[in-house]
Structure 1
């Protein structure tokens, strides 16, 4: 698979930043918001000139990879058949200020990405872009080999999909710490020391490895519930 066209569902802060990074990396970018195209067109043309404001269906139909950058509580507003067969990046997190009561949004027995994968059962979900703040994503993307380059965690159950997303993350300006287990995404969500952290590869890898050794991911899951 060669990724040339990037689709972003969500025209908030994270979606806008990722659209800008993708344009800079040379991708064709389409982005949709919660309202009509007319509602977001001026915002898109002003903040990320070159990106194409579109409806969800048009974004998906004309993209090789989809990024979910909407509030987590709204992912079920998307018809799961719309993303059938698509490689999808889950960049979402539960956040009480926008999502409300956690138990009304998430099953406490599963991580959020597991639930996203279960809902979009005919899509392939990979978790990344969720633990670094949007300001850091925007300001700290650097070319490969730069000693100041930061790293992102990339994980999912499908090895080929994770490897493809890893290359995509690299092109967007970040090193990658890679796992092949979607449930490990919990280690970078709110409640974890990694959430909001902007770290280089070795720093991020060391903390992630320590989480693995202590099964900290599941402990975080229980504390969030």
Structure 2
């Protein structure tokens, strides 16, 4: 007699968050609220995250960036673009990495390939993390809005956020996470098109539903 097949657990439960700034902290707050475990790390060391972890509660713990990467079923990278080559390649190998990183040349220094429209921010991250599956996410929403502007699935005029990836499963993970956080998803397509949702484009940090976001993505200029 055949044994019944065990149900496959598809809901990943631990998020490794690399970067504990405004976006990383807000993603962590919403994630623990939804029942995820969170391991959060930054460049300054776990001891600097004591207050944040105390606020987040028992589902969160502080770690180094590498430990957070290793612990996560998937990771969220939310650090300054100028430091993207510090992301731990080996610890993130084989994993989906949600990239929230934006290009602020005032902070990061000028990057000619981005200024000239020859590269995208997420493309640079994917190039660095060759063995990971990078998807853009949470990059064009104000940090405070992550925990305050979501709405249940099917809500009229629900806010939408964009994702982009060269890997279907990575884009699908972001879409699922967005839905859990309270947002619709518009898939921009491959990372080569992810410039459409980068800084200073029409879709950047404005509230928009899926139809409005689609229109804003279409009219985005390649070079600012």
Q: TM-score band, normalised by the shorter chain?
A: 0.7 to 0.9
Q: What's 1:49 paired with?
A: 57
Residues 81-120 of structure 1 aligned to structure 2 (within 5 Å): 81-103=90-112, 109-120=118-129
Quick one: structure 1 residues 39 and 189, their matched pair in 2 at CA, closer, same or farther if it must change by over 3 Å?
Answer: same
Q: Which runs of 5+ in 2 are unaligned?
A: 1-9
Maintained 8 Å contact 1:106/1:115: no
Moved more, 105-114 or 28-37: 105-114
Q: What's 1:196 paired with?
A: 205
- Pairwise CA RMSD: 2.0
Q: Which runs of 5+ in 1 are unaligned?
A: none
Over 3 Å off, 4+ runs: 102-108
Higher helix share: 1
- Provide the TM-score with structure 1 as the length reference: 0.87
Q: What's 1:172 paired with?
A: 181
Q: What's 2:133 paired with?
A: 124
**Which whole-Å CA distance do the structure 1 matches of 2:23 and 2:195 have between them?**
19
**Which whole-Å CA distance do the structure 1 matches of 2:114 and 2:49 have between them?**
26
**Which whole-Å CA distance do the structure 1 matches of 2:216 and 2:105 have between them?**
25
Residue 40 (structure 1) shift: 1.6
Residues 12-161 of structure 1 aligned to structure 2 (within 5 Å): 12-46=21-55, 48-50=56-58, 51-103=60-112, 109-161=118-170
3-state SS of paired residue (2:67) = helix
Rg larger in 1 or in 2? 2
**Which whole-Å CA distance do the structure 1 matches of 2:103 and 2:188 have between them?**
21
Quick one: structure 1 residues 75 and 107, their matched pair in 2 at CA, closer, same or farther if it must change by over 3 Å?
Answer: farther
